[in-house]
Amino acid sequence: MKKKLKKIKSYINIKDILIFLLPFVTYLTVLVIFFPGMLSYDSFDQLNQIATNQFNNWHPFLHTFIEKMCMKVWNSPASVGVFQILFFSILWTVICKYNRKKNTKQEFIFQIIVTIFIVLNPLNSFYSITLWKDVLFGYMFLLFCFLLEILIDRKYNVSPKFIVLLGLVTAVISKLRHNGLYALIIFLIILIGIFLVKKKRKFCLLIITSFIASMTLFYGLEAVYNVKHIKNTLVEVKMMHALAYYNEEDILSQREKKVISNVVNLKDMHDNFNKYYSDHLATKLDLVKAQEYKSDLMKILIKKSLSHPLTLIRYVLDSANMTWSIIRPDGAVGTLVFLQLDDSPNNVTGISHVNKDKGIYKNVQQTVLKSMYQKLPQTILYSGALYLYLSIILIIALVVTKKSLKFLLLIIPNILNTVIIAASTPIQDIRYIYPNYLILYLVLIIFIANYSRKKETVTN
């Protein structure tokens, strides 16, 4: 044990400590100011499940379980914030260390600049203390893409343990968010195809076995805790939202409207329609009837989508505006940073912010609010689409300058995730595309490392 500790100590240097302390100290300071953390309705629902020991899968149980384990160590929601802060700070330190290939002063300075930008962005500092599944999902997504970087760096010559870890991380991401599975399964198929091309058939078996074994373990965990499975109505709500959009575009026949009226009053559908937000409409739906008429409604949706393809495209672009538009439209409904403006104690847990009456609490809160509602800072700090586009541009630059397609592997998972979000998002909440931000930071660090090496080669 002592030998292992000495080995770890010899591996860590002052650069690593500085990189680690920047996010750790900043995020911890934000947690202290907004103690015990940022808690939304979803957060309180999960805390209530933990308190009553009665669980359901409305929120992914794996995330609720992780919160439960954190609170076993320290019985406070702040324990989850501390865990998230530690997780990101350590992961980011490892990423930066791995990408200081030549360990030059220039590489380190660039890494410090990127890290300072990360910690000064309110999105990152406040997300680190927010009890949302999307935060840990984003961190695990970053870890996944970092593992892909190592994989392509080593030209797929990695140990079996590494592939098992990759399968485990894939499973964790799949269980941290209900729609996380789809993007990861598609990418897993792509990765298996690459392994076959590279004649790494053993890796195919390993990653599939690791993924299935991990998923089996997580399902077993749900059985142990007697997790109640709640019917997910996402498909029905999304389908009705699209039909409501088509109704606003006046492309539905009277017969088709009559079918829809079995599920929702047409006036209610019109009065409660918002092209950026489907949850408000969902409150007016008879979801039992929606499931009963699901086949008929789906036929209408498909028929109208095929006969009016431009209307379908407009609907997708409007309903998932945050996934592609750099500028956020004025009518967009959704959260950028959750600031818990209602600081009254929660009626279930009694939890509220201990510093809510202090000046620093109010000043920080107001500063972040201003950044969210002014177009320029809003775009620079909170535009998920901008971060995705910048990632793609940098990846293309790496492909061109290094004359290698291998870097494309780093951005494919995020593009797939964005497409899945575009097809399923009920609201313009930036948290759903949080990986866009984190993957840009990773790509920036990789770009800096490759640029530094190229410059050094030219100099020599």
pLDDT of residue 83: 98
Is the pLDDT assigned to residue 457 strictly greater than 70?
no
Q: Which long-range contacts (CB under 8 A, 24 or more apart) does 96-101 make?
A: 96/16, 96/19, 96/445, 97/15, 97/16, 97/19, 98/146, 98/149, 98/150, 99/445, 99/446, 99/448, 99/449, 100/15, 100/449, 101/449, 101/452, 101/453
Mean pLDDT, to the nearest integer, of 53-80? Answer: 95
pLDDT of residue 343: 56
Q: Please give the structure tokens belonging to residue 152.
A: 């392509």
Is the pLDDT assigned to residue 459 strictly greater than 80?
no
How far, in Å, CA of 387 to CA of 375, rounded? 16
pLDDT of residue 460: 42
Residue 433: which of 425, 443, 442, 441 has the closest Cα? 425
Mean pLDDT of the chain: 91
Give me the DSSP letters along 57-82.
SSS-HHHHHHHHHHHHHSSSTHHHHH
pLDDT in tens, 214-258: 999 999 999 999 999 988 788 899 999 999 999 999 999 999 999
pLDDT in tens, 311-326: 999 999 999 999 999 9
Q: Which of 66-75, 140-149, 165-174, 341-350 has the lowest mean pLDDT?
A: 341-350
How far, in Å, CA of 393 to CA of 389, rounded? 6
Give me the DSSP letters along 274-322.
BTTB-HHHHTTS-HHHHHHTHHHHHHHHHHHHHH-HHHHHHHHHHHTGG
Mean pLDDT, to the nearest integer, of 111-126? Answer: 96
Q: Which long-range contacts (CB under 8 A, 24 or more apart) does 107-110 make?
A: 107/448, 107/449, 107/452, 108/15, 110/448, 110/452
Q: Give this prediction's pTM.
A: 0.94
Residue 445: which of 145, 10, 173 has the closest Cα? 145
Q: Please give the structure tokens belonging to residue 395.
A: 């990846």
Distances (CA, A) of 21 to 7, 86, 124, 291: 21, 10, 15, 52
pLDDT of residue 307: 96
Buried b (16+ CB within 10 A) or exposed e, 84-109: bbbbbbebbbebbbebbeeeeeebbe
Is the pLDDT assigned to residue 458 strictly greater than 50?
no
User: Which has the higher per-residue pLDDT, 28 or 341?
Assistant: 28
pLDDT of residue 279: 86
Residue 444: which of 110, 215, 36 has the closest Cα? 110
What is the DSSP secondary structure assignment for residue 40, as one 8-state letter?
-
Distances (CA, A) of 196 to 12, 182, 205: 37, 22, 11
Q: Please give the structure tokens belonging to residue 289.
A: 């009837």
pLDDT in tens, 338-388: 887 665 555 555 677 888 888 999 999 999 999 998 999 999 999 999 999
Residue 77: which of 68, 85, 86 has the closest Cα? 68
Is the pLDDT assigned to residue 89 strictly greater than 60?
yes
Q: What is the CA 338 to chain-centroid distance, rounded? A: 15
What percent helix, strand, coil does the chain show, rounded to 5?
75, 0, 25
Is the pLDDT assigned to residue 115 strictly greater than 50?
yes
